[in-house]
Amino acid sequence: MRVHSLRTRTTAATSIVLLAATLGACSSDDEGGTAGGAASGPLEVWSRSTPEPAATYQKVFAAFTAKTGIEVDYQGVVEFDTQLQSRASAKDLPDVLINDAGSLGNYVSQGLLTPIDRESIAGQESIADETWQQNVGIDGETYGVPWSRQTFATVVRKDWREKLGLPVPTNWDELTALATAFGTQDPDGNGQADTYGMVIPGTAKNGYIGWWASSYIWQAGGDLLRSTGDGTFESAIDSPETRTAAEFVRTQFCTPGNTVPGAINLTTGDSPFFQEGTAGIYLTGPYQWSAFDAALGKDAYEVIPMPKGPVGTTALAEGENIYFGAGSDKADQQKALAEFLITPEAQELGMTVEPLPSGGSTQAVVRLPVNSDVDVVATTGDDRWKVVEDNYESDSRTFEWSINFTPFRQALGEGMNAIAADCGSDIDAGLKSIDEAFTAELESQDLLK
């Protein structure tokens, strides 16, 4: 089995190299530049961004151009992966991609990225080895330069909690009790039954509920995939610990008032309930804070340490990487941009929020800085970031970024959605179904020992 597996991976790696070579042969700038970094013309850079974060990126790239003289053709792309696939089909990828760190394995499997020599990146030593290790593919090559990291955080309506005389929740039982109180005890004092406990993006679409529930699975001592060595894995989802997490999740959906109406079918885009003042608890990314601040005011809510599950306080960690598009003829410029983006100057620029002339404000594109010389609280003046930083450093986990994790997240979302949607469902059978889907996907990706 291992001989076959290694042969398959060798073939896959060869295919990736051939695709990269094909992209390289078909990619050139308008000035006819050649590979090796001597090309002229602007460096094309994409990020997955709406206008508010895109405005921050524009400021960062302007500083890069002022320092280096290298022009940047920047695009904030909302439908990032759809447009990226279109460009890949045309064998004309952007030179640099700034996108989810969790996309690494997927992009590598498609041959979209050029490997990076970490030691050649000036300033690379300012980034922790553990953070660099997150960017290593299944083949042992490094495929991304870290740009930003964050964990999920629990936000709570402080004014509601204090009105009801309840403590900051420190464990699952207290969190559940607070959700029930918010949904049944009129915390906004308007005399109407129009408030709820938790905002939960519970749809199976794009695996949303699995993404949200993963922190609770780890807090219960459960797991998703387990490394078996030599780049192989096995499913670890079907366990008593994960069952405990699934019971906790279903309790929220099956307790009146604990979740917003229709939560089982909602995405994050369909879930404005916290900032609209109808829900009081949200486990979400800190990128939401600026919207909450604008809608509610900073004093109305609090960012709390993760309430402890049966085993711990683990939070899902995410982030963004700087990727080099395969086939680019601007290797020197790619490297120069990456080196600038990990400097304290660029990291701090990426963390700065400013008013927009049209109203509203820009959005930070660096959450927790990857450069160890940058202090997130000192830079932002916001003590709430200390909660996220402490959780990231002491008790956080990522999905398995070295592989194409997207199908696993989808299978987890479908299984958890089915469990939560039916208050009488057989949780053991539901976990077994996810386990079978995980095992089949591992076999499909030739990752099963």
Helix (H) or strand (E) holding 98: strand 96-100
Same-domain check for residues 29 and 72? yes
| Residue 419 forms part of a structural domain | yes
| Residue 390 forms part of a structural domain | no
pLDDT tens, per residue, the chain with 449 residues: 222 333 334 334 434 444 444 454 444 344 333 334 457 799 999 999 999 999 999 999 999 999 999 999 999 999 999 999 999 999 999 999 999 999 999 999 999 999 999 999 999 999 999 999 999 999 999 999 999 999 999 999 999 999 999 999 999 999 999 999 999 999 999 999 999 999 999 999 999 999 999 999 999 999 999 999 889 999 999 999 999 999 999 999 999 999 999 999 999 999 999 999 999 999 999 999 988 999 999 999 999 999 999 999 999 999 999 999 999 999 999 999 999 999 999 999 999 989 989 888 889 999 999 999 999 999 999 999 999 999 999 999 999 999 999 999 999 999 999 999 999 999 999 999 999 999 999 999 999 98
| Residue 301 forms part of a structural domain | no
Same-domain check for residues 15 and 102? yes
- pLDDT at position 359: 84
Same-domain check for residues 278 and 340? no
Distance in angstroms (rounded) separating the CA atoms of residues 160 and 158: 5
Same-domain check for residues 130 and 168? no
Q: What is the CATH number of the domain that holds 349?
A: 3.40.190.10
Closest to 346 (Cα-Cα) out of 331, 324, 364, 326? 364
Same-domain check for residues 428 and 280? yes
Same-domain check for residues 234 and 332? no
Domain closes at, from 356, 385, 414 = 385
Angstrom distances, CA of residue 173 to CA of 150, 160, 240, 387, 395? 26, 18, 19, 21, 20
Q: Give the burial class of 299: count Cβ atoms within 10 A of its Cβ; 0-12 exposed, 13-18 middle, 19 or more buried.
A: exposed
Same-domain check for residues 113 and 176? no
- pLDDT at position 17: 41
Find out whether 419 and 425 touch, Cβ atoms under 8 Å.
yes
| Residue 272 forms part of a structural domain | yes
Number of structural domains (the chain) is: 2
Find out whether 95 and 334 touch, Cβ atoms under 8 Å.
yes
- pLDDT at position 290: 87
Same-domain check for residues 160 and 268? yes
pTM of the model: 0.90
Which amino acid, residue 165? Answer: G
Which tokens belong to 416? 């958890």
At 27 the three-state DSSP class reads coil
Same-domain check for residues 43 and 106? yes
DSSP state of 426: -
Which tokens belong to 23? 């992209």
| Residue 44 forms part of a structural domain | yes
Angstrom distances, CA of residue 222 to CA of 186, 197, 215? 35, 25, 10
Helix (H) or strand (E) holding 284: strand 279-284
| Residue 35 forms part of a structural domain | yes
- pLDDT at position 25: 40
Same-domain check for residues 333 and 257? no
Same-domain check for residues 356 and 438? no
For 255, the domain range is 153-284+405-444
| Residue 213 forms part of a structural domain | yes
Same-domain check for residues 43 and 78? yes
| Residue 126 forms part of a structural domain | yes
